[in-house]
Structure 1
Amino acid sequence: MNQKSEIIPLLRQEEGVRYTPYIDSLGYPTTGIGFKLGPQGAPLSHYTFTLSDNTINAWLQDNVDDVSASMQQNADIAKAMAHCNQPRQDILTSMAYQMGVGGLAGFHNMLSAIDAENWSAAASQMLDSSWAKQTPDRAKRHAAVMTSGQWSPTYDF
């Protein structure tokens, strides 16, 4: 059964949505779903606009397309993706969106477990990481989907 990608609603839920510019935790002017607007320390007064959901989703899809293309250029990630159904692919894309493709590529043991379709081992590797310590709730939700291959009951899309 082919499932459609839920990456846009997944990232909207996990990253949060801001319609107007704000200063992120590292001091960058940011908007939407973690879209950096300018250099660290730039004043918000330089960014006076409000985004619509359609604009945010289009911008997000463009960013996701870039992340997905970069993921396919990494042999280890591309090989793992070939073993994944759509929810698992979306989870890997979410991880790459959050920490960069290089960050995801550092999960060597997880990617090897995915290659072997050992989903519980892949989930364990996800949870045994600095990423999981930094964003524990997101990591637990992502690991649950990696284990089951299903959105429900973890996510309700």
Structure 2
Amino acid sequence: MNMMQMEHDLTGKLCWWSKLNRARQTVLLSMAYDMGLAGLLQMTRFLSLAERGEYARAAEDMLNSDWARENDQRARELSAMMATGAELPE
């Protein structure tokens, strides 16, 4: 699946996704690409925290997932992006 289709699917499943800033959208997009949209949607606590704007708690919750244990470095990077709302320097 390409990124444009994934963005479309995220918008359809998470109506609040488009209200996030670009860095936080990138986090969800990357996670959905890594684990599939169905896998991301199973992270209900994380998604609920992100939707409510509790980004620091959402970032912590990301790191307590099977996905994070399988993608350690990338998970830490994306968690930092979720917490701060800033893109990581290249």
Q: Mark yes or no: TM-score above 0.5.
A: yes
Counterpart CA distance in 2 for 1:73 and 1:83 is 13
Counterpart CA distance in 1 for 2:69 and 2:48 is 21
User: What TM-score, normalized by structure 2, do the two folds share?
Assistant: 0.91
Q: Highest CA radius of gyration, 1 or 2? A: 1
Query: 1:34-69: CA deviations, max 9, x gaps?
Result: xxxxxxxxxxxxxxxxxxxxxxxxxxxx70011111
Counterpart CA distance in 2 for 1:82 and 1:71 is 9
Instruction: Tell me if 1:129 matches 2:65.
Output: yes
User: What TM-score, normalized by structure 1, do the two folds share?
Assistant: 0.54
Following TM superposition, where does structure 1 have runs of at least 4 consecutive aligned residues deviating by more than 6 angstroms? none
Normalized per residue, the structure richer in helix is 2
In the TM superposition, 1:135-154 aligns within 5 A as 135-151=71-87
RMSD after superposition: 1.4
Normalized per residue, the structure richer in strand is 1
* Kept after mapping to 2: 8 A contact 1:88/1:145: yes
Residue of structure 2 aligned with 1:119, choices 44, 52, 55? 55
- Aligned residue pairs: how many? 90
Q: Which residue of 2 aligns with 1:105?
A: 41
Which structure exhibits the higher relative contact order, with contacts defined as CA atoms closer than 8 Å and separated by 6 or more residues?
2
